[in-house]
Amino acid sequence: MRIAIADADQKRSQAMRLFLEADGHQTAWHARDCVELLAKVAGDHPDVLLLDIELPRDAVAVTKQVMGGRPCPILIVASAFDDHKARVFEAIAAGAVDAVAMPRSHETGAVETMEPLRARMRMIARLFVADRKARPATGASSLLVIGASAGGPQALAHLLSVMPETFAPASVIVQHLDAPHAPHMASWLATQCKLPVRTAEHGETLPRGTVLLAGTSQHLVLTADGKLAYTAQPLNCLHHPSIDVFFESVAKHWKRRLAGVVLTGMGRDGAEGLKRLRNQRALTIAQDQATSAVYGMPKAAVDVDGAQEVLPLKDIGPRLIDFFKTSRRDIENAC
């Protein structure tokens, strides 16, 4: 990969350059501040950008600018996460794919900290550079649907992180999120799991073994012919996209193996939709109070008897894996 390094610490950037070149990568260019970075990236687009969170003239703002134009995977470099935690997460929210701790050059043991950088480079190469090496998008015969709101990104990352590469269902997420941030969140979630993650496209058939995220301010729905679509209707919803609207369309049109999950979030969106799924004999799960950042949506789902099971976050992934793993045997026994 061709890697650009934007770091004010010249000794550290030299150490990273030598390490990465020894690992088979090429250095595209080096920048010492954000103004120089923007000038160089306009004329020479790298495969990956290593960006120092302390880079002069606002690394978070430049992350937004790069991702809003001609985007490339950005890996944030931070000398001390505790000192820069808020800015690191701001950069990730703006579209950076991940962050890696890399002490300043004067700190003891800087050379020994390079292994995490190698691991992040391999992850980025697998997910973003080499066409993500995604499996062929064959149609799914089983479906997992998930709704989340406040606290959802971290809960989703945890849930998806336990899913194996062989997890076959199509997984569709409706997260309450401003539409411009959806592609960035999809890219970030892709770094947290072994499955391909992207925003859902209007008119597409549910792909096997892929995670799709609602990607516009319109409602995502499943149509009668088994395809995903975006629609402005109904207009009188508090949330756009609405979890209830999506879940109810799935309950109406999906007739095969199905599970629905409501994760942490404020309000009641998803409760009635989860109940509709349960009435269609889907496995329905609500995150428990102890592990929810906000126990609003899961509680509402429990209150209307929409949740067949109430589980701590750490148990939801294994339960879903087991549920879909036994689907073939259950179908054969029912015949």
In three-state form (DSSP H/G/I as H, E/B as E, the rest C), the secondary structure along 87-148 is HHHHHHHCCCCEEEECCCCCCCCCHHHCHHHHHHHHHHHHHHHCHHHCCCCCECCEEEEEEE
Query: Cα(165)–Cα(93) distance, rounded to whole angstroms?
Result: 25
Helices (H), 172-296: 182-191, 243-253, 271-279
Which of these is catalytic: 142, 149, 171, 292? 149
Q: Is 164 helix (H, G, I), strand (E, B) or coil?
A: coil
25, 30, 84, 176: which one is catalytic?
A: 176
Residue ranges of domains in the chain: 2-133, 142-334
* The two domains 2-133 and 142-334 share their CATH topology (first three levels equal): yes
- Annotated active-site residue 142? The verdict is no
Please provide the size of the chain in residues: 335
Say how many C-beta atoms besides its own lie within 10 A of residue 105's C-beta.
Answer: 17
Domain 142-334 CATH superfamily? Methylesterase CheB, C-terminal domain (3.40.50.180)
Return d(Cα 54, Cα 215) in angstroms, integer: 31
Q: Give the pLDDT of the chain (335 residues) as one tens digit per residue.
A: 889 999 988 888 888 888 888 888 888 899 999 888 988 887 788 889 999 998 887 888 888 888 877 778 899 998 876 677 888 888 888 888 888 888 776 554 455 668 888 888 888 877 765 544 444 446 788 999 999 999 999 999 999 999 998 899 999 999 999 888 888 888 889 888 889 888 898 988 999 999 999 988 899 999 999 999 999 999 889 899 999 999 999 999 999 999 999 999 999 999 999 999 999 999 999 999 999 999 999 999 999 999 999 999 999 999 999 999 865 444 334 33
176 is catalytic: yes
Q: Please choose, from the candidates 179, 178, 196, the residue with its C-alpha nearest in 3D space to the C-alpha of residue 187.
A: 196
Nearest to 124 by CA among 68, 67, 184, 188: 188
Distance CA 237, CA 172 (A): 20
The DSSP 8-state label assigned to residue 295 in this structure reads B
H runs (alpha helix) in 180-283: 182-191, 243-253, 271-279
* The model scores a pTM over 0.85: no
Which residue among 187, 269, 288, 292 is the active-site one?
Answer: 269
CATH of domain 2-133: 3.40.50.2300
Other CB atoms within 10 A of residue 94 CB: 21
Is 149 among the catalytic positions?
yes
